[in-house]
Amino acid sequence: MSNCANQHLYVPRSAQILAIEELTDKEKRFVLKFDDGSKLGRGEFIAVYGPGIGEAPISLCSSPSDETFEIAVRRIDPPEGRHDEAYVQTLMNVTTYIHSKKVGDYLDIRGPFGREFPVHELKGKNIAVIVGGIGLFPGVRPLREIAEMREDFKRVFVLFGTRTPQERYFPKLLDEWNESKLFEVHEAYERLANGERGGFVTGVIDTIEGCKPEETAVYIVGPSVMFKPVMASLAKYNLPDKNIYFSLERQMRCCVGRCGHCRVNDSLVCVDGPVFSLQEIKEKHLWEAL
């Protein structure tokens, strides 16, 4: 029996908050750094722990090459007057705990975990990142990495659908990419600024018209309800299955393939994913995935 288990598998590390940016009234962005200056390394998400409150997997939105790392978190207020757990608890969850932190405070994190969107393997291709809502948080991680080596890719699209023009989360970044023509940014709002009905992200997918299917990869990240309509809109481009990537979301407790909560058929989202290609989903019969 091998006995090389990592004694600190479930032990978080403390990272200091260097900066906080209010994205909207519900979402904040946190820039974090370890005291000893060590880099976080590769992975799709980290687990943020609030002592006595709980742990939640949170996607990373910084480029893997950054010295610091970033997360963006939407605050979900717990329902008033209801305790979900039988323990003595403050009326707090991990998101409200993170939001209560100030610059200079520490967050306890484990990770990074999970397999990322394979940016390096897709060099030389057109890339379309199709994002819904706060799927933008994990969505910008590969985009920032691509931005660092932009010349290695052909056309790069950011297709972003969100509820209102106020909820653009990273307006500076999106405007910067758009104005510098680094990426082709196309946005769709469900409700426009003047209150009229807008459109969904499926309405801007046609901007990838003209890209050769073999040379085009898409990364779909957002709420699971958006997967099917996006797939339907992509159908006419006949992209090969291996070029369509999804970021799946499941509840998880351990993030290291043990607790079973994130099981999707024969795969575990925490260690085998969360990014799966359509080819993998078909080959491994992951019919629970989509």
Give contact residues for another protein (rule: CB under 8 A).
Answer: 1-12, 14, 51-55, 76, 85, 87-90, 105-106, 108, 223-224, 249-251, 253-254, 256-261, 263-266, 271, 285, 287-288
Question: Given the complex with another protein, which of 11 and 91 has the nearer CB atom?
Answer: 11
Question: Given the complex with another protein, which of 83 and 154 has the nearer CB atom?
Answer: 83
The one-character DSSP state at 26 is S
Question: Given the complex with another protein, which of 109 and 234 has the nearer CB atom?
Answer: 109
For 182, how many CA atoms within 13 A lie in the half-sphere containing its CB? 16
The residue type of 121 is: E
Question: Given the complex with another protein, which of 165 and 257 has the nearer CB atom?
Answer: 257
Residue 276 phi/psi, 5-degree rounding, is -120, 145
Closest separation in Å from C-beta 14 to another protein:
5
Question: Given the complex with another protein, which of 1 and 235 has the nearer CB atom?
Answer: 1
Closest separation in Å from C-beta 235 to another protein:
23
Name the packing angle between helices 171-179 and 136-148 (round to 10°).
Answer: 40
DSSP string, 236-273: GG---GGGEEEE-----SSSSS-S-TTEETTEEHHHH-
Closest separation in Å from C-beta 88 to another protein:
7
| Pairs from 284-289 (Cβ < 8 Å, separation ≥ 24) | 288/264, 289/246, 289/248, 289/264, 289/265
**Alpha-helical regions (H) of the chain:** 94-99, 136-148, 171-179, 227-234, 269-272, 278-283
Sorted by sequence, the CB contacts under 8 Å of residue 285 that are 6+ apart come out as: 265, 266
Closest separation in Å from C-beta 146 to another protein:
27
Closest separation in Å from C-beta 208 to another protein:
28
Question: Given the complex with another protein, which of 175 and 287 has the nearer CB atom?
Answer: 287
Closest separation in Å from C-beta 253 to another protein:
5
For 45, how many CA atoms within 13 A lie in the half-sphere containing its CB? 31
